[in-house]
Every structure is written in structure tokens, then in C-alpha cells.
């Protein structure tokens, strides 16, 4: 029998769920109490230079159950597919790099410098953006049309436009700038890999 592949995507899902449970455990019982867990580990633009570790820790935090569910559903769905295609090291590098870049985007472009940003959305958009370049015709269903598959590139084109609109309009409540930074970084990395592999194949006179 062949060696069974270990998907680190599933460990990332488990880590996010565990951190969310910790968030619930440390949530203040009174609105007058300070939420020190969020203060220490979420990205607050005005504090990011003093708390650089939050660029990483915020990737594992989420605002509520729905935020956690949709991010983890996307990670569980797209993560293993991309991880198998890229390999574990490249996948993990992409996940953390786009998550950090997404948080930097939030810190730089957030409409408020005092509202903490948290969530794996930058990394999720990075994964989806990479897949849109590497597998543009991969059929996927979107939440508004669950039974009508569309190509991966079309779905991500739509969500990238939404993220761009949210960033430029300074819309609050959702970290659009983190989404935008993540998807651009993920797409750019995938484009680089695609061009690099094409040059390697051409140099040896091989066909795709």
C-alpha cells in the first residue's frame, strides 16, 4: 500500500477551532471588562508595530461562529486540494504568508486604526486566489447559487471585486482590505509558480 498523505490543512482547521474555544473561555462576562485576549492576539492597526506577533496570531482567531464556520468550510474544501498540488511546505508557506500579508493590508488600509482585525480570511483568500490561477476552470458552487457550478476564476473575480469595493469605500465590519491583500498575494505566487514551471518544461522540450 502507498504512503498515506497527511493534510496539514486539517490541522489548521483544528487549531482555529481550538483558539476560538479559548476566545469564548476568556470572553469577559461584562462589557465593562477589558477583552485582554483579543487585545493581545488580534491585529489592532495602531498597535501592530508594538505587537508584531499579532500578524500571525490573528490568523487563528474569529469574531463569531458564522465567521469561523465559513472560513473553516473554505479551508476544509480548498485547502487539501491546493496542498496536494503544491506540497505541504509550499502550502503552509502560502497560508501563513498570505495570512500575514492580509493582516498587514488590514493594518494599513482599515477605516479605523483602533478596531482589532481577526480571522483566517487573508489566508483563505490567498488559497482561493492561488487556485484561481493554477486551476481556473475548477468547478465550484457559490453561496448565492449553490446548485450552479461556476469556474474558480469567475468566483474569485467576483469576490476580488467585492473586496476591492469594500476597501476603496472604507466599508466597516468586514476586513475587505485583508481579503484583497490575501487574494492578490496568493494569485501572484501561483502565477510565479506557473511561469516558473512552464519555463522549466520548455527548457527540456517537454509538453504539458
35-67 confidence digits (pLDDT tens):
889 899 999 999 999 999 999 999 999 999 999
Average pLDDT over residues 67-81: 94
Q: Is residue 3 in a domain? A: no
Count of domains for the chain: 1
Q: Is residue 137 in a domain? A: yes
Rounded Cα–Cα distance for residues 34 and 19 (Å): 18
Other Cβ atoms closer than 10 A to 7 = 17
Q: Is residue 55 in a domain? A: yes
Q: Is residue 1 in a domain? A: no
Closest to 86 measured CA to CA, from 192, 15, 190, 200: 190
Q: Is residue 99 in a domain? A: yes
Residue 172 has pLDDT above 80, yes or no: no
Sign of CA dihedral 152, 137, 129, 157: negative
Q: Is residue 2 in a domain? A: no
| Residue 183 CA from chain centroid, whole number | 8
87: left (phi over 0), alpha (psi -120 to 50) or beta: left
Q: Quote the mean pLDDT of the chain.
A: 88
- Residue 146: give its domain's CATH number: 1.20.1540.10
Q: Is residue 208 in a domain? A: no
Residue 145 has pLDDT above 70, yes or no: no
Average pLDDT over residues 14-37: 87
Residue 35 has a pLDDT of 83
Domain membership of residue 63 as a residue range: 8-203
Q: Are 179 and 159 in contact (CB under 8 A)?
A: yes
More confident residue, 124 or 27: 124
Q: Is residue 155 in a domain? A: yes
Q: Which residue has the cell 509550499?
A: 90
What lies within 8 Å, CB to CB, of 17 at 6+ separation is 68, 72
pLDDT in tens, 121-144: 999 999 999 999 999 999 887 665
Amino acid at each position: 500500500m502507498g504512503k498515506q498523505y497527511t493534510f496539514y490543512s486539517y490541522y489548521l482547521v483544528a487549531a482555529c477551532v481550538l483558539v476560538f474555544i479559548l476566545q469564548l473561555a476568556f470572553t469577559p462576562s461584562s462589557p465593562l471588562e477589558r477583552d485582554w485576549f483579543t487585545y493581545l492576539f488580534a491585529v489592532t492597526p495602531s498597535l501592530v508595530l508594538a505587537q508584531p506577533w499579532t500578524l500571525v496570531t490573528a490568523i487563528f482567531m474569529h469574531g463569531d461562529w458564522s465567521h469561523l464556520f465559513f472560513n473553516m468550510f473554505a479551508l476544509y474544501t480548498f485547502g487539501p486540494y491546493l496542498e496536494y498540488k503544491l506540497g505541504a511546505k509550499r502550502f503552509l508557506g502560502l497560508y501563513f504568508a498570505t495570512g500575514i500579508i492580509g493582516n498587514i493590508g488590514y493594518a494599513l488600509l482599515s477605516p479605523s486604526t483602533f478596531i482589532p482585525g481577526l480571522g483566517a480570511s487573508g489566508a483563505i483568500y490567498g488559497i482561493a486566489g492561488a487556485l484561481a490561477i493554477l486551476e481556473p476552470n475548477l468547478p465550484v458552487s457559490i453561496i448565492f447559487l449553490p446548485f450552479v457550478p461556476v469556474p474558480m476564476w469567475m468566483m474569485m473575480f467576483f469576490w476580488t471585486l467585492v473586496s476591492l469595493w469594500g476597501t476603496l469605500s472604507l466599508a466597516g465590519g468586514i476586513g475587505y482590505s485583508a481579503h484583497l491583500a490575501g487574494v492578490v498575494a496568493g494569485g501572484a505566487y501561483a502565477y510565479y509558480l506557473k511561469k516558473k514551471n512552464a519555463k522549466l518544461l520548455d527548457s527540456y522540450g517537454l509538453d504539458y
